[in-house]
Copies of this chain bind each other. A is one copy, B any other.
Amino acid sequence: MDGYSPIILTDDDRFYILDQRKLPAVVEYIEANNINSVCKAIKDMAVRGAPLIGITAAIGLYFGIKDSNSLDELNAQFHKAYECLSKTRPTAVNLFWALDKMKRVKNEKELILPLEKLIKKIRATAISIWEEQKKVDELIGEAGSEFLKGKKRILTHCNTGTLATGGIGTALGIIKTMYKKGELELVYVDETRPYLQGMRLTAFELKQEGIDYKIITDNSCGMLFKKKLVDAVVVGADRIAKNGDTANKIGTYCLASMCKKHGITFVVAAPESTIDRTIKSMDEIPVEERNKEEVLKIAGRYLTPENSDALYYSFDLTEAELISAIITERGVFKHPYNF
């Protein structure tokens, strides 16, 4: 991803968010120097990907409080920003994880540090969340590429790369690491309707890395498996329950089920922060139902009769039994999971 960072925070506090809705045709940044712009960018999916949403939200929190003139004002603004950000995307647990980490640091330091230093500490904490993610991605890439040794043709869904994490990526980070080790032959990229993260974003990253890929429609996996064209499937996660049940981009559940049927390795790659130990199983994971317009409109055009109705679940739920391994920065976990 030389040249295109999905977010940029300058030393003089300008915050730029790459508008991923316009990729790959247009590379354009949104300037988001206040809390409302950041909330809007997350909600409208200008920025997406569970870890990157967390990082962006943390930076957003900083923008929410950075001009405070007293601790009381800072706390009021913090609370306001926290509320606004936590309502943007309900499924991604990293968002809440990042917000809570920011809150913890703020709470710990607010009575110790003078206001100016407290604000600086909050800024540094947001940046450290990003830096940690980069390290996490490297560890996942290493563990995942070891686990998948010998599997050369990988299918992936959605985008789990730099554009999703700010690092090398999770599932896509594994793929990039395999490529660097000379252990990758081809990537099948699910186009990932309706937002087309695969066709637009994953293809964009793979192209930049010089990795061979073929784009397929999401409904193709069964046929590819039947023709023995795929050795393993690697995806990310938006939330993982204590028992390993996983919420991820719509389509993941079908992919996992078809892998089970065909005896194909199905791997989930995600940072620890994706694991929500407060929920036992997927029964407790809320699933976001998004605006039906996002299904009805493709490339800015309606291809349906006027006033058509639609139903759009943005995520689905995959039971732990279908997952061959969950790979985090702590290593490779196998079923039965007990996080």
Q: Show the binding face of A for B, using Cβ within 8 Å.
A: 24-25, 188, 190-194, 196, 199-200, 203-204, 207, 212-224, 226, 250-251, 253-254, 257-258, 261, 287, 292, 295-296, 298-299, 301, 303-305, 308-313, 315-317
Contacts and interface: CB of A to CB of B under 8 A. Distances in A.
A280 B196 CA distance: 39
Given A193-B218, A220-B313, A316-B222, A254 B250 contact: no
A201 B165 CA distance: 39
B24 A304 contact: yes
Given A303-B200, A304-B24, A316 B254 contact: no
B310 A214 contact: yes
A24 B305 CA distance: 6
Given A223-B287, A303-B196, A311 B250 contact: no
Given A253-B226, A257-B261, A258-B257, A308 B220 contact: no
A64 B294 CA distance: 46
A305 B254 CA distance: 27
Given A216-B311, A295-B217, A222 B254 contact: yes
Contact of A309 (B214, B250, B301, B309): B214
A231 B126 CA distance: 48
15 contacts: A196-B298, A196-B303, A199-B303, A213-B308, A213-B309, A215-B309, A215-B311, A217-B295, A218-B218, A220-B250, A220-B251, A223-B315, A223-B316, A224-B313, A299-B299
Contacts of A254: 219, 221-222, 254, 258
A255 to B, nearest CB: 8
A304 B203 contact: yes
